[in-house]
A and B are shown apart, each in its own frame.
Chain A
Amino acid sequence: MSASTSTILNLPDQTTATMPKRNYLNNEHGLLSWLFTGDHKRIAILYLISITFFFFVGGAFAGLIRLELLTPQPDLMASDTYNKMFSMHGIVMVFLFLVPSVPATLGNFLIPIMLGTRDLAFPKINLLSWYLYLAGGTFTLAALIFGGVDTGWTFTTPLSTHYLNTNVITAATAIFIAGFSSIFTGLNFIVTIHRMRAPGMTWFRMPLFVWAHYAASVLMVLGTPVLAITIVLVALERTIGIGVFDPTKGGDPLLFQHLFWFYSHPAVYIMILPGMGVISEVVSTFSRKRVFGYTAVAFSSVAIALFGFFVWAHHMFIMGVSNYSALVFSLLTMLVAVPSAIKIFNWAFTLQKGSITFETPMLYAFAFFGLFTIGGMTGVFLGALGMDIHLTETYFIVAHFHYVMVGGMLMAFMAGIHFWWPKMTGRMYPESFSKLSAVTSFIGFNLTFMPQFILGYLGMPRRYHAYPAEYQVLNVLSTAGATVLGVGFLLPLLYLTWSLKYGAIAGNNPWQATGLEWQIQSPPLTENFTEIPIVDHEAYDYEWLAHKTEQEVTTVG
């Protein structure tokens, strides 16, 4: 299709178009006005800048890992260095990018506006959470500068407590602090969603983006403290040897696994749920049709959050947990896969009878469908007890969670960033470049991680610095793919920065979307709404939107 006929862009006439005189970006000036801001939108921008920085830091580690794995011999760096590379890659990407990515940027920016309120419930705590994130990031960088850490992001005891001589405590402190930033974000969302909805904004009129964030927030608030406790125990074990995880002192090394995965499995849903929220918005907007089975999609988010807490031991099937608990956890793992399947099919059927266009956010959403389906299905492989024995701890699992986290979450994040870019900045991104980057990252991604599934089934263990020569070809393919993927992620950095100054002026509602955020100016006022809206329609009510537009035309014109 050609871009001119397929667009639903409703940009203001470019000769007369102007940015709104007053908005949240130019309301106050100077660095201090940003550093002491209580405005959820400015905090979202602060977050966006910082997580982008850490994304590229983590990405650089990934690049070096792939470069080393180009050859079977350990020739680019020493083993210790390699171990630090994948540890820092994991720590940075999980705790400093994936967990805060959508909630802290898009969620922060949009949830108050979507609910029709002026800010989050606790603006100062919101700012505090960014500072905590920054402190966590600083400690991570400190750990890196002082020589790195090589525990892996999983901090497995007793390796992390007794056998490594790197900056474990510094890295643990980083994660401990960053955890609180996530707890505060979750807390803020929960209170805001419960208490600050605009008149008429009932629970079942909320956009699905908000539902997804609500579910993720519950996970953040209930799960993250367990991580904090675990990290403290690791630090105490390492410094004064309390012996909770040490078998020679009567401790249990498996206890650490239980505690760690009790957070870290739900953390997977903390990462993916907000991304699913983005997909719901994008798919509906570009099909110009309400989300198929709103209630099912909303409740499937809640179901994922609920079941997500009871599947942690599926990370431990080969570790000698009892057969009965293995059975229970495998069964629950199968159940948690169902709501994800429901979502995929509901999104697919949202397209049916729609009026579909294919702007960049939609392309990223399509990429999400494909990659998340593979990611989800391979999760079923790993949830099946006997299958897990062969697949766990190999490249299969690496490929699986990258399909979910990068293929799912990161694609959703990119969809969301492009989708709301006009709202956040008031300017459009360049459509052709962004389509190119969407296609590039999709191809690059599959080329990187598809060979890793095969490598995993062949038995190549993860976290290997050197590997048997027969695995080289697939590793070369994977590294080649990573290069393409890298280009796919660098492009947006360039053209989005470019668009800040040169992008077309977006106007209020370039996509003709129904959310409350699209009914106000772009970029919004600091107070979001001059008058708190009264909500009298459901989410994704395109007839309401058409009616409203018609009225505006008749009254203005």
Chain B
Amino acid sequence: MHISPVLWQFLVKWLHASALFPAEASTIAPYTDALYFFLLAITLLGMVLVGALVAGFSFRYRKEKHPVAIQVEGSTLLEATWTIIPLALFLVTFVWGALLYFRIYNPPANSMNVYIVGKQWMWKAEHPGGQHEINALHVPMGRPVQLTMISQDVFHSFSIPDFRVKREVIPGRYSTVWFEATAPGTYHLFCTQYCGTKHSGMIGEITVLSPEDYTKWTQGSTSGMSLAQNGERLFASMGCNSCHSGNAAARGPNLAGVFGSKLQLANGSEVLVNEAYLRDAILNPSQHVTAGYAPIMPTYQGQVSEDGLIDLVEYIKGLQSNYRVQQTLTTSQSNQVAPTTPGMVKP
């Protein structure tokens, strides 16, 4: 028998590429797949039921066999049955889905953090240790990784199908997602929110390394400056330290140890200081005045890039004492060191 080469090639390809499910490469994936199979099962059940009813009745009550229809009003009992059973199944799905949602979106406390900046049409990953990647992300296996993500322009969405995680990357606010990879290898990274011309080119590769390889990679690819170090330079060059010096008489609140604390605001509300709060407070200070301070801080909207903000946030996050702040202040006031260009400290 002769098979056309095109068709043959297609068949071979089909057999090779007939995966029905993506790889399970994170701790979350098996949980997502379990719910998926449950839902597939009830869909199949529903299909078979509806199909059997329609086919069975069509056969049994076709006109040739059943020339005169018997009129029936309805049946409260039957109707109640097919209200309650689907409702119960849907409620089970709801609870199961909600549990999975909280699992995917609540990172464990011990997770390491990587910052992601999305822009048309690339992904930038910034590791606290000063590794910068574009359209790539290296992560260690067996360790929870939290991504703190923001967009510089439009909506993007960070999706790793093999990990079953995805989260919208939004301009103007941090969003987070976490995963723990379980198998070394490379996996697709897609932008799944339509973001303009090269939307389908906004893709990348997630590389999962064994802990040893990861350590090697970290050492081999650092830029030499951690995010916090960049942040410190920015903090000084933008003059943040002149108010946030930690002195008793300073015009701005003390930032040492502020991360993770509960802060009393001038408008009476209490907030938890996290990354998002720090970012908002820099860009929109008049909305975030700490109780006891005057609303004199100018906005830095448009003056610091998202990368610069990440540096600042990372710096303030790790700030435990004001010793170096004051040191820098003294040196910069004595004009011994020229400030570097704001926001442009990184390659």
Contacts and interface: CB of A to CB of B under 8 A. Distances in A.
Interface of A: 1, 5-6, 8, 74, 79-80, 83, 150, 152, 154, 156, 158-159, 162-164, 247-248, 250, 253-254, 287-290, 292-296, 317-320, 323, 326-327, 330-331, 334-335, 337-338, 341-342, 344-346, 348-349, 351-358, 366, 369-370, 373-374, 377-378, 380-381, 383-390, 392-394, 454, 457-459, 461-468, 470-473, 476, 542-543
Interface of B: 10, 13-14, 17-22, 31-32, 35-36, 39, 42-43, 46-47, 50-51, 53-54, 57-58, 61-64, 66-75, 78-79, 82-83, 86-87, 90-91, 93-94, 96-105, 120, 153-155, 157, 159, 161-162, 164-168, 170-173, 175, 188, 190-201, 284, 301-302
Nearest to A289: B69
Contacts of A346: 74, 79
A498 B142 CA distance: 67
Given A319-B155, A330-B97, 7 more contacts: A254-B170, A327-B98, A345-B79, A352-B57, A356-B66, A386-B31, A393-B159
Contact of B302 (A156, A248, A287, A458): A248
A374 B48 CA distance: 11
Contacts of A248: 172, 301-302
Contacts of A471: 17
A374 B43 contact: yes
B74 A74 contact: no
Contacts of A468: 188
Contact of B66 (A154, A353, A377, A476): A353
Indicate the member of B21, B39, B120 with the most A CB atoms within 10 Å: B39
B17 to A, nearest CB: 5
B285 to A, nearest CB: 13
A317 B101 contact: yes
13 contacts: A1-B64, A253-B172, A335-B90, A338-B86, A345-B82, A348-B53, A353-B61, A358-B58, A377-B47, A380-B90, A385-B100, A458-B161, A459-B188
Contacts of A295: 74
A360 to B, nearest CB: 15
A357 B91 CA distance: 38
A316 B168 CA distance: 9
A337 B98 CA distance: 17
Contacts of A384: 35, 39, 93-94, 96-98, 100
A9 to B, nearest CB: 12
A330 B96 CA distance: 11
A464 B22 contact: no
A389 B157 CA distance: 11
> 10 closest A-B pairs (Cβ-Cβ)?
A386-B100, A459-B161, A247-B172, A384-B97, A293-B74, A385-B101, A393-B192, A351-B57, A464-B200, A334-B90
B324 to A, nearest CB: 32
Contact of B87 (A338, A373, A383): A338
Given A156-B193, A384-B96, A465-B199, A389 B166 contact: yes
* Of A253, A457, A463, most B-chain CB atoms within 10 Å: A457
B101 A459 contact: no
Nearest to B31: A386
A293 B39 contact: no
A79 B195 contact: no
B166 A355 contact: no
Most buried by A among B17, B94, B195: B94
Contacts of A394: 159, 161, 192
A338 B78 CA distance: 14
Given A377-B43, A393-B166, A470 B19 contact: yes
Nearest to B98: A385
A326 B200 contact: no
A465 B284 CA distance: 38
Contacts of B72: 289-290, 292, 352-353
Contact of A356 (B58, B83, B105, B191): B58
A373 B190 contact: no
Contacts of A344: 50
A82 to B, nearest CB: 8
Contact of A163 (B17, B36, B153, B284): B153
Contacts of A472: 13, 17
A473 B14 contact: yes
Contacts of B101: 317, 323, 326, 330, 385-386, 388-389
A349 B78 CA distance: 10
B50 A342 contact: no
Contacts of A163: 120, 153-154, 196
Contacts of A464: 190, 199-200
Nearest to A456: B161
A253 B164 contact: no
A341 B86 contact: yes
Contacts of A348: 50, 53-54, 57
A156 B154 contact: yes
A458 B110 CA distance: 30
A284 B105 CA distance: 48
A247 B173 CA distance: 9
B67 A355 contact: yes
Contacts of B57: 348-349, 351-352, 354, 356
B98 A152 contact: no
Given A323-B102, A386-B100, A457 B22 contact: yes
Contact of B63 (A6, A247, A387): A6
Contact of B97 (A290, A370, A385): A385
Nearest to B100: A386
Contacts of B100: 384-387, 389
Given A247-B172, A373-B50, A459-B190, A386 B14 contact: no
A506 to B, nearest CB: 20
Most buried by A among B91, B166, B173, B201: B166
Nearest to A352: B57
B70 A353 contact: yes
A459 B159 contact: yes
Contacts of A326: 98, 101
A462 B71 contact: no
Contacts of A454: 20
Contacts of A318: 157, 166-168
B162 to A, nearest CB: 7
Given A334-B93, A348-B53, A383-B97, A357 B63 contact: yes
B194 A357 contact: no
B54 A380 contact: no
A287 B61 CA distance: 8
Nearest to A459: B161
B224 to A, nearest CB: 32
A366 B71 CA distance: 21
A386 B83 contact: no
Nearest to B45: A377
A248 B191 CA distance: 23
A436 B116 CA distance: 53
B62 A390 contact: no
A465 B190 contact: no
Nearest to B14: A473
B58 to A, nearest CB: 6
Contacts of A356: 57-58, 61-63, 66
